[in-house]
Amino acid sequence: MKSTTTSNDSISVFAPATVANVGPGFDCFGFALAGAGDVVHARLTDEPGVHIARIANDDGRLPLLAAQNTAGKAAQVVWQQPPDLSEAHGLELEIIKGLPLSAGLGGSAASAVAGAVAAMHLVAQLSARPYDDELVLQAALSGEMVASGSRHADNVAPSLYGGFTVVQANEPPHIARFIPQIELHVAAVTPAIAVSTKAAREALPKMIPLTDAAQNWANSASLVLALFTADEKLLRASLRDVVVEPCRAKLIPDFAAVKNAALESGAYGCSISGSGPTVFALAPNRQIAQAAAEAMSAVFARRDLAADIIVTTIDSEGARRR
């Protein structure tokens, strides 16, 4: 993790936004977005336990009770590991949301990751224990469970480690991480609509034709190969999801037109980020990514839907001190 100077009793940690699923990689692929993310400020107190003093930019929607908050729960899991420490010291958190809620950009995971990392650094400092990456991951997964109801690492892993991650298993977590060898720019467009995780899960197919499953397996393998070998043609062919995207597309107004606008702008491919409503496109340069973002936003505008735009690259660092 990249370090900056901090006082002895406080720390600030940034955790980036993420795109999960990434086309055919449902519940296993993810990558981190440079620039956008959540920040958790943590400081030591004399009052035992983990407490949340303030949450900014959430319009009062997120709980201040630590056990019911993703960052708070993740920090609790770390803080409770050395009992002698947690009984003698407390932790106060301030959460600065830089990501919209329920947007499909991994906001709950980013907060959980930032809370876990901040707590771990202070635990290591106070107890002279080594920084425990495995504990941080487990704590962040516990925090994510507060929001999503399950310990899925597809957003947590890229936010924590940066780069492109593949979650081979969730329990116990088995995660591979790599940096794509092809230049990638990302256009992420979030329309002003709500897509609940419950609705997105209910839209999933109960049965999958074997031919569709085989196509997604092939596309998933080909996508990773394309990122490793910088094969643009293969990337364009493999960034396709024939299983989940068709079912969730109906939750996003004019999704087909939005996707087509990105492709016509020159993007490698376009799909739904996480559960949505954010739609992302991968492009070979910033100019094409910007053009794709504006074209996608214009489609939403025809529906009188405002949309937030992010044009960025993949964050290779992951969570880090600020």
Residues 37 and 149 both lie in one domain:
yes
Tally of domains in the chain: 2
Residues 212 and 290 both lie in one domain:
yes
Residues 117 and 256 both lie in one domain:
no
% of the chain surpassing 90 pLDDT: 82
Tell the residue number behind the tokens 């980036």, with chain if given: 16
Residues 43 and 163 both lie in one domain:
yes
Number of Cβ within a 10 Å radius of residue 257: 15
Tens of pLDDT along 218-237? 999 999 999 999 999 999 99
Both tokens of 255, joined, read: 């999704």
Question: Which H or E run contains 279?
Answer: strand 279-283
Sign of CA dihedral 177, 3, 17, 237: negative
Residues 48 and 174 both lie in one domain:
yes
- Tell me the pTM: 0.94
Dist CA 152 CA 106 (whole Å): 11
pLDDT of residue 1: 39
Say yes or no to pLDDT of 295 above 60. yes
Say yes or no to pLDDT of 205 above 50. yes
Give the model's confidence band at 148: pLDDT under 50 very low, under 70 low, under 90 confident, else very high. confident
Contact between 94 and 41 under an 8 Å Cβ cutoff? The reply is: yes
Tens of pLDDT along 171-181? 888 999 999 99
Dist CA 70 CA 107 (whole Å): 10
Residues 49 and 30 both lie in one domain:
yes
Give the model's confidence band at 4: pLDDT under 50 very low, under 70 low, under 90 confident, else very high. very low
Distance, CA of 60 to chain centre: 22
Q: What is the average per-residue pLDDT within 290-307? A: 97
Angle at 229 between CA 226 and CA 234, to 5 degrees: 30
Domain coverage including residue 241: 185-312
- Rounded to the nearest integer, the mean pLDDT of the chain is 93
The 3-class SS string of 54-123 reads: EEECCCCCCCCCHHHCHHHHHHHHHHCCCHHHHHHCEEEEEEECCCCCCCCCCHHHHHHHHHHHHHHHHH
Q: What is the DSSP letter of 71?
A: H
Residues 269 and 145 both lie in one domain:
no
Number of Cβ within a 10 Å radius of residue 57: 13
Dist CA 19 CA 273 (whole Å): 5
Sequence-distant (6+) residues with CB within 8 A of 113 are 15, 74, 136, 140, 143, 156, 159, 160, 319
Residues annotated catalytic, as ranges: 144, 197
Q: What is the CATH number of the domain that holds 295?
A: 3.30.70.890
pLDDT of residue 214: 98
Q: What is the average per-residue pLDDT within 91-112? A: 95
Q: What is the CATH number of the domain that holds 120?
A: 3.30.230.10
Dist CA 50 CA 73 (whole Å): 9
pLDDT of residue 312: 98
Residues 65 and 118 both lie in one domain:
yes
Residues 34 and 161 both lie in one domain:
yes
Q: Which of 162, 172, 164 is nearest to 135 (CA)?
A: 172
Say yes or no to pLDDT of 57 above 60. yes
Residues 99 and 168 both lie in one domain:
yes
